[in-house]
């Protein structure tokens, strides 16, 4: 399982990484591996706002469809439109080209409450064990 040491992680298997005043978000390598081949990604509209923990999108794979949740509340500023035509980027590069949304956090302190990469790794091991 690949991890991004710069990112923070939610128990629902999303990652979040600060970039200036905004946060970039996607699903973790563990999540994309569990889903298998991603065939469709549904993302929100720019300007939509969601509280922490609310579903902002859906990832469909050959195995299942899964909601994707906000790791931190905020307003969407950019969506990764490349995923419309190439949803497999989520599998190929979950922390890079496969990012899903950028948003302005409504409460930056929520970011600090997320797990770091070591805590997330331990969480996944415990979940699978």
Total domain count, the chain: 1
113 within domain boundaries? no
Query: What is the residue range of 58's domain?
Result: 13-108
pLDDT at 10 (0 to 100) = 98
| Helix (DSSP H) and strand (DSSP E) numbers for the chain | 5, 9
pLDDT at 129 (0 to 100) = 83
CA distance linking residue 101 with residue 41, whole number of Å: 11
pLDDT at 61 (0 to 100) = 96
Instruction: Note the pTM of the prediction, 2 decimals.
Output: 0.96
Task: Give pLDDT tens digits for 18-77.
Answer: 999 999 999 999 999 999 999 999 999 999 999 999 999 999 999 899 999 999 999 999
83 within domain boundaries? yes
How distant, in Å, are the alpha carbons of 4, 12, 37, 60 from that of 115? 12, 11, 26, 25
pLDDT at 15 (0 to 100) = 98
Task: Give pLDDT tens digits for 84-126.
Answer: 999 999 999 999 999 999 999 999 999 999 999 999 999 999 9
- Per-residue tokens: 122: 């331990």
23 within domain boundaries? yes
Long-range (24+ apart) CB contacts under 8 A made by 10-15 are 10/69, 10/71, 10/114, 10/115, 11/115, 11/123, 12/53, 12/69, 12/71, 14/68, 14/69, 14/70, 14/71, 15/71, 15/94, 15/95
CA distance linking residue 12 with residue 105, whole number of Å: 18
CATH number of the domain encompassing residue 77: 2.40.50.100
104 within domain boundaries? yes
Strand ranges of the sheet holding 55-61, from the earlier edge strand across to the other edge: 38-42, 55-61, 65-69
4 within domain boundaries? no
Tell me the three state secondary structure of residue 110. Answer: helix
121 within domain boundaries? no
- Per-residue tokens: 75: 């307003």
- Per-residue tokens: 48: 């939509």
124 within domain boundaries? no
50 within domain boundaries? yes
Q: Is the pLDDT of residue 128 over 90?
A: no
Task: Give pLDDT tens digits for 25-39.
Answer: 999 999 999 999 999
């Amino acid at each position: 399982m690949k991890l991004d040491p710069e990112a923070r992680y939610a128990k629902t298997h999303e990652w979040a990484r600060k970039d200036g005043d905004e946060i970039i978000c996607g699903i973790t390598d563990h999540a994309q591996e569990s889903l298998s081949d991603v065939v469709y990604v549904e993302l929100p509209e720019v300007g939509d706002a969601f509280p922490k923990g609310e579903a902002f999108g859906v990832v469909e794979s050959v195995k299942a469809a899964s909601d994707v949740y906000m790791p931190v509340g905020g307003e969407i500023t950019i969506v990764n439109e490349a995923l419309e035509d190439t949803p497999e980027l989520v599998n190929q590069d979950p922390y890079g080209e496969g990012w899903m949304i950028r948003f302005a956090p409504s409460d930056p302190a929520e970011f600090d409450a997320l797990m770091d990469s070591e805590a997330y790794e331990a969480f996944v091991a415990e979940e699978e064990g």
